[in-house]
Amino acid sequence: MLINMKPIIALATSPIKSAIHMIRISGDNCFNIVNKFFSINILKDKKRTVHVGCIKNNNKLIDQVVVITYKNPHSYTGEDSIEIMTHGNILIDKEIISLFIKNGMRMATNGEFTMRAYLNKKIDIIQAEAINDLINATTNEAKNIITYALNGETSKLIKPIKTQILDLISNIEVNIDYPEYKDIEVVTYKKINKELKDIKNKIDKLIINGEQGLIIKEGIKVAIIGKPNVGKSTLLNALIKEDKAIVTNIPGTTRDIVEGDLQIGGIPIHLLDTAGIRLSKNKIESIGVNKTLKAIKDADLIIYVKDKVNNEKIVNLNNKNVIEVINKSDLIKNKDNKHLYISAKKKNINALITKIKKVVGISDVAFNHPCLANARELALLKRINKSIDETLIELKKKTPLDLLMVHIDEILNLILEILGESNTTDLSKEIFSRFCVGK
């Protein structure tokens, strides 16, 4: 059932000068409001229509436009909706938007069109999040996996698990209602144990897949560290194929973090070139060193650059993924086969790229299938498994079925939360605030 919604309006395209802009409108009575100022009578009963005409206020032409109408429920939001294509000038858009606001519409908030689509059950929460992810995707690989979420393939990963737990719950409830059959209860405990373990296995697989998907979507942070003058900045430049970081033979040149982005095997890599770590009396250089320490803390992977084989340890790198490389290989005569040699200056860095692929787990076979790959979904999947573990402990203790149900209900709720089917007001506010206006 559609919820009664005041019409909202927003510019859906970017406000910069371009051939065409699009203003989006959705909500009750929006056909009537637009009709007052549009030269053509909108056909309100048609599923979808396209009209070419003029928007006028008191006979003053604002713009010649194309108007597309969508009768509910045949729209993105599920409500009556209109899209107005204007000549791409923000002054025209502003005039039209303020005219309609004066006549009963209001500015849409971030993501409000998509939120309405969700509230009207046109899409589930996984699809809603996918729409925002799609807008923000920076690689083809990310775009591919998000498309699965958009067309509902990703939701299908979790829906059978929802059915499985619902079946289990109804089975237990029957036994709570008919407690006189003791042997049924024994069977029930065994069955709960088996089903929960099966669900946990499935969730484990979803977590592994989702974490890989998350890397593909959001990439990883890689910090290049090492002593001054070993060639860190030269390496950043070689990796991103441009001269972004200043390279000199004066140790201590890089004081601030220089950042650069590239892709390796379709994975976005965010590189940080750091100040070389050494104790310095120079205040600016020591601030740079502190920033380096922070970059190390935040990085998913460290490239530790040296210019000769030695045992130096410049900083504690425990619990970090570290790739050690020996740079300036063009100056090194006797190379062993225990170390990874590169020459940043000669752009001879393939060995390092191969190693990065290996450490990050990028296979040559592209990762291209649906997965629950955003932080919210992954956090919920982990909570489900924790909840299952707790329930399995209760099960061992032969906790009475009605008390056990409290735990199993919690598992169900978490599953529903992934799909946005549980109590979702706060959740949806949080999710949609990350969208842009007009989406």
278 alpha-carbon distance from chain centroid: 37
CA distance 406 to 316: 46
- For residue 327, report the phi and psi dihedrals to the nearest 5 degrees: -90, 175
- Residue at 390: amino acid letter: E
- For residue 255, report the phi and psi dihedrals to the nearest 5 degrees: -110, -35
Question: In angstroms, what is the minimal distance from the CB of 267 to Mg ion?
Answer: 25
CA distance 438 to 80: 16
Nearer Cβ to ligand GDP (42/230): 230
Nearer Cβ to ligand GDP (60/313): 313
CA distance 352 to 67: 54
Residue 88 contact among Mg ion, ligand GDP, none, beta carbon within 5 to 8 Å by kind = none
Instruction: Specify which residues 67 forms β-bridges with.
Output: 51, 84
Question: In angstroms, what is the minimal distance from the CB of 247 to Mg ion?
Answer: 7
Nearer Cβ to ligand GDP (81/274): 274
Rounded to a whole number, what is the largest CA-CA distance in the chain?
86
Nearer Cβ to ligand GDP (242/330): 330
* Measured CA angle at 217 (ends 12, 340), to 5 deg: 145
Helices (H) and strands (E) in the chain, counts: 13, 12
Question: In angstroms, what is the minimal distance from the CB of 230 to ligand GDP?
Answer: 5
Nearer Cβ to ligand GDP (343/385): 343
Question: In angstroms, what is the minimal distance from the CB of 147 to ligand GDP?
Answer: 40
Which residues bind to ligand GDP, rule: CB under 6 A?
226, 228-234, 247-249, 253-254, 276, 327-328, 330-331, 343-346
Interacting residues with Mg ion between 222 and 241 (CB under 5 A): 232-233
Instruction: Specify which residues 82 forms β-bridges with.
Output: 25, 69
- Work out whether 374 is an interface residue with Mg ion (CB under 5 A): no
Question: In angstroms, what is the minimal distance from the CB of 225 to ligand GDP?
Answer: 9
Nearer Cβ to ligand GDP (249/334): 249
Interacting residues with Mg ion between 105 and 134 (CB under 5 A): none
Residue 370 contact among Mg ion, ligand GDP, none, beta carbon within 5 to 8 Å by kind = none
Residue 438 contact among ligand GDP, Mg ion, none, beta carbon within 5 to 8 Å by kind = none
Interacting residues with Mg ion between 251 and 270 (CB under 5 A): 254
Residue 327 contact among Mg ion, ligand GDP, none, beta carbon within 5 to 8 Å by kind = ligand GDP
Strand order in the sheet with 267-273: 258-264, 267-273, 220-226, 301-306, 322-326, 340-341
- Residue at 309: amino acid letter: V
Residue 343 contact among ligand GDP, Mg ion, none, beta carbon within 5 to 8 Å by kind = ligand GDP
Residue 174 contact among ligand GDP, Mg ion, none, beta carbon within 5 to 8 Å by kind = none
Nearer Cβ to ligand GDP (27/276): 276
Residue 231 contact among Mg ion, ligand GDP, none, beta carbon within 5 to 8 Å by kind = ligand GDP
Tell the residue number behind the tokens 């992934």, with chain if given.
418
Nearer Cβ to ligand GDP (196/305): 305
With contacts defined by CB under 5 A, how many residues of the chain interact with Mg ion?
3
Tokens representing residue 189 in the block? 């405990």
Question: In angstroms, what is the minimal distance from the CB of 344 to ligand GDP?
Answer: 4
What sign does the CA torsion over 301, 306, 309, 312 have? negative
Nearer Cβ to ligand GDP (87/345): 345
Question: In angstroms, what is the minimal distance from the CB of 255 to ligand GDP?
Answer: 10
Q: Return the HEC string of 166-186.
A: HHHHHHHHHHHHCCCCHHHHH
Question: In angstroms, what is the minimal distance from the CB of 225 to Mg ion?
Answer: 11
- Residue at 430: amino acid letter: E
CA distance 290 to 285: 9
> Per DSSP, which regions of 192-236 are E strands?
220-226
Residues 234 and 394: beta-carbon distance below 8 Å:
no
User: Which positions touch Mg ion (CB under 5 A)?
Assistant: 232-233, 254
